[in-house]
Structure 1
Amino acid sequence: MSRIADLAHRHGRTIIASIHQPSSDVFDLFDHLCLLSSGNTIYFGPISLTSEFFASNGFPCPQMRNPSDHFLRTINKDFNMVIGEGSEHRPTEITSDAINILERSYKSSSIFQQVLRQVAQSSSMKGEIVQRGSQARFFTQCCVLTKRSFVNMYRDPGYYWLRLAIYFAICLCIGTIFYDIGFDYKSIQARGSMLMFVATYLTFMAIGGFPSFVEDLKIFRRERFNGHYKPVAFTIANMLSSAPFLLAISVFPAAIAYYMAGLQRGPQHFIFFTLILYSSMLLVEGLMMIVASIVPDYLMGIITGSAIQAMMVLSCGFFRLPGDLPKPIWKYPLYYIAFHKYANQGYYKNEFLGLNFSGNGGGNLSISGEDVLKDYWQMELGYSKWVDLAILIGMVVAYRLLFWVAVKVGEEVKPMVSSFLLGKKRHVLDLPSSIPVVVTNSTL
């Protein structure tokens, strides 16, 4: 509390603290005091005048007693209700009389008149000084949020470091299972299966960050409520802070599986391979952030995100070739909106084009990689692999925009839904339209 008071005085900020039964040391740190009882203001003014105000009305603070305890005891009926059970003196009524005396005295005091003048003056003010909003420039918001998010991710071993270790282990497994695939006819299916596993399972594991997304959103909503920054700054910062970790996961573990399996050796092929994996991971993180903004529960959110990805994997054209997919729903629209489709096509074009494979019966018969893509995998060869990568990058941006929309809509819709539900409850319980709020404990 000393640190908070020092910040308030140094930077000219107003800090409101609600503390029950503070120590005398903490109580002395406050500049002003507001005492509430049964929804009424008993005192609101400089803390240095509080003891004098109580003493002048017949309620002096006894020696060796904490002033905050004395004020709380004088105006809180709850304590006396417990003490007064079976008592002939009915101390609850005495407390009510004290509250009435203090309330009337405060309303007739010069302190109250000064508060009214300050309220009127503040109400007449217009302009940015009284507008709720961000206190920093947009660029500063993005920088501060990115740094904070990056530090949190770096310090949390379960956020990316554990996933990085697991990716190393899984990619080592992939490399040993598909070690030196070769170029015979059987390698066609092996290459396709390996690339499919990388495009689906490795990206699927990005849902591991979902619990952290939920916690980040809780912090965001509290800080957003106070007007510290805008949703777009939070969206950009979250993406920038996670980008280096996802890039490390996409490059180093993937290199083990790529070169152990004996895929195309050209450096440009490996770079494209990592770019597809990197953009797919960014996509899954964006998808899980959208889910977190709509379904904030850990278990339900992970189940929802997993179900969405499972539907995309089923319709991406591997387990059923594109020509065999049922046209309602699975071909149109899921096949075209599933990012796995473009990841697989990019991978397959990157790997099979330029290669030749021995025929099924052996001998001198060979099959070109282009024929494999067209006839075996039914890939779309009307555009290059870079178009598939560009589509994935566009989907990364689109998913972040959808997350921003979900946050903005949530800010508008949730209060309306809460108000509607409250109205329904009031109607069912036959409650009045205005319900008084009773504060039983004194508030400092």
Structure 2
Amino acid sequence: MDSEAETTVGGSCLVWQDLSVTLASNNFGSHGNGGSSTKYLVNGLTGLAQSHRIMAVMGPSGSGKSTFLDALAGRLTTKVAMAGKVELISSCPAGSGTKKKIRSSPVTCRDVSYVTQEDVFLGTLTVKETLSFGARLRLPGLTKTELDEVIEDTMAKMGLEECADTTIGNWHLRGISGGERRRLSIGVEILAQPLVLCLDEATTGLDSAASFFVVQALRNIARDGKIVVCSIHQPTNDVFRLFDDLLLISCGEAVYFGECQGAVKFFADSGFPCPTRRNPPDHFLRCITPEFDQVLAALKQTQRMNHAELAAADGLLNGTTAETRATLVKKYKSSIFSETATKKIQELALLLAQEKHDDGSQSSSEVVSEKKRKIGKKQHHQWWSQFCTLTHRSSLHMCRDLGYYWLRIFFYIMVALSTGTLEFDIGTSSAAVIARGKVDGFLYGLMICLSIGGLPFFLDEIKAFRGEREGGYYGEAVYVLSNFLSSLPFTIFISISSGSILYSMVKFHPGFSHLLYFCINLFFCISVSEACVFVTASLVSNPLPAMGTAVGVTVLNLMPSIVFRPLPDLPKIFWRYPLSYISYAAWGTQGNLKNDMMGLEFDSAIPGRPKITGEFILTNTYGMNLKYSKWRDVAALFCLLLAYRVILVFTLHYKQRISSPFRRTQPKRGLKPTTVQQA
């Protein structure tokens, strides 16, 4: 027994015992039965995944595959409750002797890399650049030469050498294929050399050739001593043969766990043999997918298939799928496959107990706490490296993506030229008093609204951020700061170029200091507007609702500006207090009118009357308080910019930790978890 267990832990093992994941009944709605019920998303799974082997997790849609992987990777949220135990058992050399010690520890995010169903990248980067930035974020302690070696080795493992210098692709750049994107997602996650690699629906959306290539790449990773656990939906026979072990799940319960080769024998012994010309994975899913009963019943009712066709399509005429699934679950619990898995786990537990008794090694909690202390010391030094890497990557992305800033720069300049043409040489006549106010309203209304054009690109960046944030590679504050610094040259260029064009054509208050103030004021207005749109993108991830929300928030910020109605005339409830104080358009317009009109004299509307000073117009027409300098308005804009960036940090943090993971805990369509009624 000891020799068999020692062979099992020749590398590492990921062990789960009596693993159950439950969701409270109030997340499903009221049942109206007066009692409480427990919804099992995963129910009593036991097994282990070994290094040097690749394990497939199969089951119908909504059977609990993703929940099971989330439980293994420690990604479950507080909305669900997990029972049972998940631990990582690894072997390590025992001093100078040849015998190896084994050690058990809880699974941490440092041990596991998780590849989600969706491939999220910055499409303007090349494959090699993506891996390079990923390596710098995940391996900050390595030198450039060492990083280059890791990147080249990863590209070789994943078969990405030929497309190393090809852009990933976005809305205006043609990029790599779907299979190459999938292999790149895996490559990015294995850069940090995790002990365990979990993949959710690794081949979804790929053709048979691309799927085969992806799974073959996973086999190469497993051969390097990694534990690979991969959920997959209906693979071809060629792809299925690449897997070593199989976990078959239906309604959260184990139907089979063991070597892939033994699954056909298990189904045959249970009374459901696989037909000669049928793909085994298709047969397995046919036996445990309840939707087949509904489809066949509908076809029988509509008489679209005769009895012979139904017999050929069904293959399970001796009962329903629900009965077949129940039979298989019962057979597995008493099968040799279940006993083998349980026996291996018990042997590992005995070895761990002996090891702990013999040499009094550190407990798993002590090992974890020691790891945390070391990681905490490193994180202080990693912050600057993360900031530089993220700033470099974001700057590169902004420069290459035509829609991120360049297209908006073109429209900013066009708006400046259009406004300058309409109000060319506005002068100081009596009509110019009203015209200058209209120019400010038109200018800030259009230029602030152009910031909404960046929303789709903000959403793409936030998607990439959330994927990396879940891996624990950097935090929200460093991301927000690096994003702002990367965008700074573009917003400064927009302010200077469009501001100078407009100022020189309209001929506002003469003097370089007034032009400088105009550009600074415009810069802060655009920056605050972009920060506000970014906060919207962090809260609303769907593009269409996010666009509508951003437009609504922008309009609300424009309405309290004094161009539409003097400040004293605004209704005190809501519009004046507090909206006029948190409206960046109100502060920007007020500061620009002070900058333009103070010190100027305008002709009276009645000939022969004395000229009217700009101060008089600002006080009586616009209701401004001139006790405060125009720089106070810029200071208010700076405070709003700082506030929105701080709000962005908090929204990213709490949206990431609460709202976004909660979507993963919702049962997928078709999920019918086991219900246990409690009195």
Please state which band the TM-score falls in when normalised by the shorter chain.
Answer: 0.7 to 0.9
Write the deviation string for residues 119-151 of structure 1: whole angstroms up to 9, x where unpaired: 997565222636898967222222222222222
Write the deviation string for residues 60-80 of structure 1: whole angstroms up to 9, x where unpaired: xxxxxxxxxxxx949983267
Q: Are the equivalent residues in 2 in contact too, given 1:77–1:95 (CA < 8 A)?
A: no
The answer as to 2:539 corresponding to 1:348 is no
The answer as to 2:285 corresponding to 1:78 is yes
Cα deviation for residue 14 of structure 1 reads: 3.0
Cα deviation for residue 413 of structure 1 reads: 4.0
Counterpart of 1:400 (choices 613, 634, 645) is 645
TM normalised by structure 1 equals 0.78
Counterpart-to-counterpart distance in 2, 1:76 and 1:130: 46
Counterpart-to-counterpart distance in 2, 1:168 and 1:123: 61
Taking only the aligned residue pairs, the percentage that are identical comes to 27
Write the deviation string for residues 172-193 of structure 1: whole angstroms up to 9, x where unpaired: 1111111111111111111221
Q: Are the equivalent residues in 1 in contact too, given 2:430–2:602 (CA < 8 A)?
A: yes
Counterpart-to-counterpart distance in 2, 1:264 and 1:284: 25
The answer as to 2:514 corresponding to 1:307 is no
Counterpart-to-counterpart distance in 1, 2:603 and 2:416: 27
Alignment correspondent of 1:36: 247
Cα deviation for residue 113 of structure 1 reads: 3.7
* CA 238–415 in structure 1, closer or farther in 2 if over 3 Å, else same: closer
The answer as to 2:209 corresponding to 1:14 is no
In the TM superposition, 1:394-433 aligns within 5 A as: 394-414=639-659, 431-432=675-676
Amino acid at match of 2:488: A
Alignment correspondent of 1:68: none
Write the deviation string for residues 41-92 of structure 1: whole angstroms up to 9, x where unpaired: 845xxxxxx79x979xx99xxxxxxxxxxxx9499832677795469xxx99
Match of 1:35, SS state, is: strand
Match of 1:431, SS state, is: strand
Q: Are the equivalent residues in 1 in contact too, given 2:417–2:501 (CA < 8 A)?
A: yes
* CA 175–415 in structure 1, closer or farther in 2 if over 3 Å, else same: closer
Amino acid at match of 1:26: A
Q: Are the equivalent residues in 2 in contact too, given 1:185–1:357 (CA < 8 A)?
A: yes
Cα deviation for residue 157 of structure 1 reads: 0.9
TM normalised by structure 2 equals 0.53
Counterpart-to-counterpart distance in 1, 2:614 and 2:408: 34
Name whichever structure is richer in helix by fraction. 1
Greater mean deviation of Cα atoms: 365-374 or 78-87: 78-87
Q: Are the equivalent residues in 2 in contact too, given 1:180–1:261 (CA < 8 A)?
A: yes
Amino acid at match of 1:13: P
Cα deviation for residue 152 of structure 1 reads: 1.8
Counterpart-to-counterpart distance in 1, 2:516 and 2:581: 25
The answer as to 2:340 corresponding to 1:105 is yes
The answer as to 2:492 corresponding to 1:247 is yes
Counterpart-to-counterpart distance in 2, 1:74 and 1:115: 33
For structure 2, which runs of at least 5 residues remain unmatched after alignment? 1-153, 159-182, 204-210, 229-244, 267-278, 289-312, 319-323, 357-362
Counterpart-to-counterpart distance in 2, 1:253 and 1:291: 26
Q: Are the equivalent residues in 2 in contact too, given 1:74–1:95 (CA < 8 A)?
A: no
Cα deviation for residue 399 of structure 1 reads: 0.9
Q: Are the equivalent residues in 2 in contact too, given 1:210–1:292 (CA < 8 A)?
A: yes
Counterpart-to-counterpart distance in 2, 1:9 and 1:415: 24
* CA 388–76 in structure 1, closer or farther in 2 if over 3 Å, else same: same
The answer as to 2:439 corresponding to 1:203 is no
Counterpart of 1:224 (choices 464, 469, 482) is 469
Counterpart-to-counterpart distance in 2, 1:224 and 1:409: 12
Counterpart-to-counterpart distance in 1, 2:566 and 2:398: 39
Greater mean deviation of Cα atoms: 369-378 or 342-351: 369-378
Name whichever structure is richer in strand by fraction. 2
Alignment correspondent of 1:67: none
Cα deviation for residue 430 of structure 1 reads: 9.2
Counterpart-to-counterpart distance in 2, 1:84 and 1:339: 68
Counterpart-to-counterpart distance in 1, 2:673 and 2:342: 36
Counterpart-to-counterpart distance in 2, 1:42 and 1:412: 33
The answer as to 2:621 corresponding to 1:376 is yes
* CA 417–223 in structure 1, closer or farther in 2 if over 3 Å, else same: closer
Alignment correspondent of 2:382: 137
Cα deviation for residue 346 of structure 1 reads: 0.9
Match of 1:302, SS state, is: helix
Alignment correspondent of 1:26: 217
Counterpart of 1:193 (choices 435, 438, 454) is 438
Q: Are the equivalent residues in 1 in contact too, given 2:412–2:450 (CA < 8 A)?
A: no
* CA 42–340 in structure 1, closer or farther in 2 if over 3 Å, else same: same
Alignment correspondent of 1:65: none
* CA 332–124 in structure 1, closer or farther in 2 if over 3 Å, else same: closer
Cα deviation for residue 433 of structure 1 reads: 8.0
Counterpart of 2:581 (choices 336, 341, 354) is 336
* CA 154–75 in structure 1, closer or farther in 2 if over 3 Å, else same: same
Alignment correspondent of 1:125: 367
Amino acid at match of 1:180: D
Amino acid at match of 1:77: F
Counterpart-to-counterpart distance in 1, 2:559 and 2:315: 71
* CA 433–97 in structure 1, closer or farther in 2 if over 3 Å, else same: closer
Amino acid at match of 2:340: S
* CA 128–189 in structure 1, closer or farther in 2 if over 3 Å, else same: farther
For structure 1, which runs of at least 5 residues remain unmatched after alignment? 44-49, 60-71, 435-444
Counterpart-to-counterpart distance in 1, 2:555 and 2:188: 51
Q: Are the equivalent residues in 2 in contact too, given 1:353–1:370 (CA < 8 A)?
A: yes
Alignment correspondent of 1:272: 517
Q: Are the equivalent residues in 2 in contact too, given 1:75–1:95 (CA < 8 A)?
A: no
Q: Are the equivalent residues in 2 in contact too, given 1:80–1:95 (CA < 8 A)?
A: no
Alignment correspondent of 2:17: none
Aligned residue pair count:
407
* CA 95–75 in structure 1, closer or farther in 2 if over 3 Å, else same: farther
- What's the C-alpha RMSD, in Å, of the aligned pairs? 4.1
* CA 26–9 in structure 1, closer or farther in 2 if over 3 Å, else same: closer
Q: Are the equivalent residues in 1 in contact too, given 2:582–2:640 (CA < 8 A)?
A: no
Question: Larger RCO: Structure 1 or Structure 2 (Cα < 8 Å, ≥ 6 residues apart)?
Answer: 1
* CA 8–360 in structure 1, closer or farther in 2 if over 3 Å, else same: closer
Counterpart-to-counterpart distance in 2, 1:6 and 1:382: 61
Q: Are the equivalent residues in 1 in contact too, given 2:440–2:563 (CA < 8 A)?
A: no
* CA 79–392 in structure 1, closer or farther in 2 if over 3 Å, else same: same
